[in-house]
Structure formats: structure tokens, C-alpha cells
Amino acid sequence: MIRADHARRSLRIHAERLAQTAVDTTLPHRAKATVQQADALARFLDDLSGRFAAHPGSLPRTALPPAPARDTSEEALDEERLLIATATAYPAETRQRRWLVSEDFAFPLHAALWQCLTALTHRGDAVDPITVLWEAQHRGLLAHDIAPADLLTLLSTPVGSPEHWGEKVLQRALLTRAQTVAVSITAFTDDPANSPHQLITGSRRALADLTAVRSRWQQATSPAVPRTARPARTPTAPRAGPPPRITPPPVRATR
């Protein structure tokens, strides 16, 4: 019981550190620090799994609280708007932003517009404010969410690059997911019915959701690997074999 209680308290401390790091705006590299805290939490879970034997039926049955609210600040709103506008202006670059998905957006309208853009580029259609407007109208977005004139204004004011704003949007999604993971793990530790192994299994399942976003964030922020030219093919050396047979010239008859 003492070992189990100590494991429970320690796990809760790791979850609290993860949550605090994800919301700490004073950190110069908050996303990287959050990823490091997630790694520390994963290592702690690996250590716990070596102390407590596994057994079947290990998933916790704790009712999870609602996920933390998404960041809907004016800054987040502007970043998503600028991403949609620049993605419309530079569709060729949008095709390369496969690490961004609609679930990363905090505003449902922007998520739906991103789906419009990716659908157009996937079909190979032309992408401009008019075609995006048509696609949005086809999906029923203009009926309730935004007026056609307002959408054209949004799509026609690009600033910067899709890559820059896409990384901003994805980073916010990463931080939000880290907070959700921390809340879930804290709820597991607050439930005394959970055994140590249930805590381990439930926490790893929660971390897996963060790992999925993290892998896309690392793909987005990693420097591109330069493509090297393929070396020229050298002539194939002749295969070893018997020397060629030389026929001697005919001998002329002498008188």
C-alpha cells in the first residue's frame, strides 16, 4: 500500500508539471519544454511498470472530466485566419502541410475552411478565393457561419507563409493536448479504485494521444533534409572469362 500510494502521488506530480509547463507563457520555448516534460512522464511510467506486475483488466474506469477549453484568444484567431488566407494564396505550399489536420484548429469555421482547401488541392482543382468560396458554399458553411463577402475578405488578405502560421496553429494544438493528457492522468490518480497498473496503462493511453500530435509537430519544425544528387553510374567492368580466340591469317603458298 505504501509503494502504491507513493507511485500515485509521484504520478500526479508529473501530470501537474506537464500541465503547468503547457500554460507557462514565460517560457521562451514552451512547446519544447512541454515535450520534455512528457518525456519525463513517460520515463517515470516505464520505471513504475518495472515495479508493479501487470495483470489483465488493467484499463481504468474513471470518468474523465471535460477537456480544457481551446485557446480562442485574439492572437489564436488571427493566426488561424492568416493561415487560411496564405494557404489560399500559395496552394502549392499547402500540399506540403500534411502534418496539419482540421482537429488542430481552435475555431470550427477555420477547421471547415481548411478541409475545403485540402479537398481542392487533393482533387487538383484551382485554388483561389472564388473556388474556396464555392467549396465552402457547397459544404453549407455560408448558411450560418460566415457571409460570402466576409469570407472573400478573409481569403484575400494573406500575410507571411502557410508554413509559419501552420506551425503556430499546430503548436497551440500540441499545448492543448498536453493539458488534456495532464487532466486525464490527474483524474486517474484521484480515483482510489485504480491499481498502480491501471494508472500506468491509463496514463500511457493518454500519452499516446499527445505523441500523435507531437510527431506531426516535430515533422513540421524539423529542418528539411537537402536532397543530394545521385552519383553518376560508372561503366560496368567486363566480366572475367577466357581470352578471345584470335584466328591466324591464312598462309600464302610459295612457289
226 has a pLDDT exceeding 70: no
Would the pLDDT of 218 be above 70? yes
- Predicted local distance difference test score (pLDDT) of residue 243: 47
Q: What is the largest CA-CA distance in the chain?
A: 122
pTM above 0.75, yes or no: yes
- The Cα 219–Cα 168 span in angstroms is 13
Domain ranges of the chain: 2-69+174-221, 74-167
- The span from the CA of 206 to the CA of 209, in Å, is 6
User: What number is the average pLDDT over the span 70-87?
Assistant: 95
Q: Which three cell numbers stand for residue 88?
A: 489560399
In angstroms, the first-to-last Cα distance of the chain is: 121
Which of the residue ranges 65-69, 221-225, 251-255 has the most confident prediction, judged by mean pLDDT? 65-69
Q: Is residue 255 predicted with pLDDT exceeding 60?
A: no
pLDDT digits (tens, 9 = 90+) for 82-135: 999 999 999 888 777 789 999 999 999 999 999 999 999 989 899 999 999 999
- 170, pLDDT greater than 90: yes
Question: Predicted confidence band at 206 (pLDDT cuts at 50, 70, 90)?
Answer: very high
pLDDT tens digits along 22-38:
999 999 999 999 999 99
What does the pLDDT read at residue 30? 96
Query: Is pLDDT at 230 greater than 60 in this prediction?
Result: no
With pLDDT > 90 as the criterion, what percentage of the chain qualifies?
A: 66
Please give the pLDDT value at position 224. Answer: 59
Is 181's pLDDT higher than 70? yes
Residue 23's closest CA among 200, 174, 175? 175
The DSSP annotation for 168-230 comes to: HHHHHHHHHHHHHHHHHHHHHHH-TT--HHHHHHHHHHHHHHHHHHHHHHHHHHSPPPPPPPP
Nearest of 123, 88, 122, 82 to residue 105 by alpha carbon: 82
The whole-number average pLDDT for the span 162-180 is 95
pLDDT one-digit tens code per residue, 36-54: 999 999 999 999 988 877 6
pLDDT computed for residue 92 by the predictor: 85
For domain 74-167, say whether CATH 1.10.1740.10 is its number.
no
d(CA 244, CA 194): 83
Work out the mean pLDDT of the chain and round it to a whole number.
86
